[in-house]
Structure 1
């Protein structure tokens, strides 16, 4: 193993044991820094401390030409910067050559959402069996609380207080937050808790369990959600994050309280939440076009 790889391994151990980053993030950083180490090794550079900004720019540019997407390039640059911050703190490097490296800008992609009426039609049904009761409770929770997929499947029974109407979820970076649960979701969860003992294995703490009695997997949730959407006539593809986007968008359309939505979503940076302001404006523009008596003149002025 090379000296370059040894230092990457030490950094990854730091991420796992001191910063307690998720396994997904650790895996991504391992790939990114491993590819950088391989690239440097091929060029005879065997010391991270001697790598220059020009070297890293050439590496990132090469990855860009190879077809790496902007989001992945941004993560790559972020990994390199964090790696050097750690090296400097440990006295292993005197400067951070990744500071002035820039990844190509990512195009702004507006999150896809589901229409309020379509969601209501899909959710306002009576489940027919235990698995459908579970799926219904999951769907209501996603839309009511705006939780992430990992947060939902990670819930234990003890994390949910239906009397208080809230749940404690473990978000990104092992940050815990409380989220409110609406009355429809509370009712659906009560129905699920009545039948859960028929499926759950002994001593299983997970709120949502599979037919085998163990904690429900992420892939199972995604598959069951799409199955539910198809069975109940939803005209668009459905996945957990689309329900989270819908939760945020519909809430922002009604309240315009960006800070509150940020807290509910568990975003550490309000800039992440601001993507929903684009959707909110799109909604307002649509309402304006449909309702204002002089809205039609906008098209005329645009053409002038």
Structure 2
């Protein structure tokens, strides 16, 4: 990568981290995407990253597509390039954004899986006696009660939670705060955890959930513990934080029909992201329709009102 490209990329990443205050994970993703494009340009002798044109972008995407990269990956890399050029325009280092007119291939929209409400309830109703099991149950309850992202749960501090009011203050994407309700059963589980938390954490540790060593729990540890928690209780489905978030959204929408409320609770910037849950809800309704409507049942299925 040329010196000028390295300098531009470093300044852009600094802008993302300090001006836009994006997470370290997001900044690393931008660095990875743009470095990948820059290395390809070097091999193709097409010049520095900030001089790529529309034809170059199309050639790059075609090359990545031939490598078997998914449409979602190509869309993300193209988005990184668009954002980089918007910054270059602002800094008066570019005259146009060559990525604006380029479209990556569309990816099929996969519906997120959800956990059956009754099965999840049965898992949560099983007693937990060991300190870490009590903590894990409290995390599962909070994930499912409030639809939190993994990063949001890990980032919670003690003073973010108001058990009496039944609510928690969450710092979501883009450092946006939102206040989310906490269900009564989740409050009970969290109270149990708070009773034993001092045996693991020091009085100066602010994190709500801590590891066995008494420090803020790591996201990977949460994922591993939730998977083990479910297996130990006899679950036949892999349990992970995002599955609980999807289940929360789907079950809430199924009961309330209020898409705007789901959007606010999940912390989605736009309603479009939340609308995928309407498809999940429709699937549920379609299953009920197929079972109940006399003109929807397959031939050979007896009519419930048929005396035969």
- TM-score in terms of structure 1 length: 0.95
* Alpha-carbon shift at residue 297 of structure 1 (Å): 5.5
Equivalent residue runs for 1:94-133 within 5 Å? 94-133=95-134
Is the CA contact (8 Å cut-off) linking 1:4 and 1:46 kept in structure 2?
no
Alignment root-mean-square deviation, CA: 1.6
Mapping of residues 229-268 of structure 1, within 5 Å: 229-268=230-269
1:179 lines up with 2:180 in the alignment: yes
Aligned to 2:304: none
User: Contact between 1:5 and 1:37, CA under 8 Å: does it hold in 2?
Assistant: no
**Alpha carbons 1:130, 1:192 under 8 Å: kept:** yes
Paired residues in the alignment total 300
Separation of aligned partners in 2, 1:34 and 1:220: 30
- 2:81 maps to 1:84: no
Distance 2:199 2:14 in 1: 41
Shift of residue 248 of structure 1? Answer: 0.3
Q: Quote the offset at 1:139 in angstroms.
A: 0.6
- The within-5 A match list for 1:196-235 is 196-235=197-236
What CA distance in whole angstroms lies between the structure 1 residues aligned with 2:122 and 2:42?
58
Q: Which runs of 4+ in 1 moved over 6 A?
A: none
Distance in 1, matches of 2:241 and 2:129, equals 22
TM-score where L is the length of structure 2: 0.94
- CA shift, 1:72, in A, is 1.2
User: Separation in 1 of the partners of 2:134 and 2:50?
Assistant: 57
The 5 A counterparts of 1:254-293 are: 254-293=255-294
Q: Is the 8 A contact 1:3 1:46 kept in 2?
A: no
SS in 2 for 1:102: coil
Deviates more, 1:271-280 or 1:63-72: 63-72
Q: Deviations over 1:158-210 (max 9, x none)?
A: 00001111101111111111110000001111111111101113411100011
- What is the DSSP-based 3-state SS (H/G/I as helix, E as strand, rest coil) of the residue aligned with 1:179? strand
Q: How much has 1:48 moved relative to structure 2?
A: 4.6
Please, which runs of 5 or more residues in structure 1 have no aligned partner? Answer: none
Equivalent residue number for residue 9 of structure 1: 10
Identify unmatched segments of 5+ residues in structure 2: 302-308
1:137 alignment counterpart: 138
What is the aligned partner in structure 1 of residue 45 from structure 2? 44
Match of 2:296 in 1: 295
Please give the secondary structure, in 1, of the residue aligned with 2:248. Answer: helix
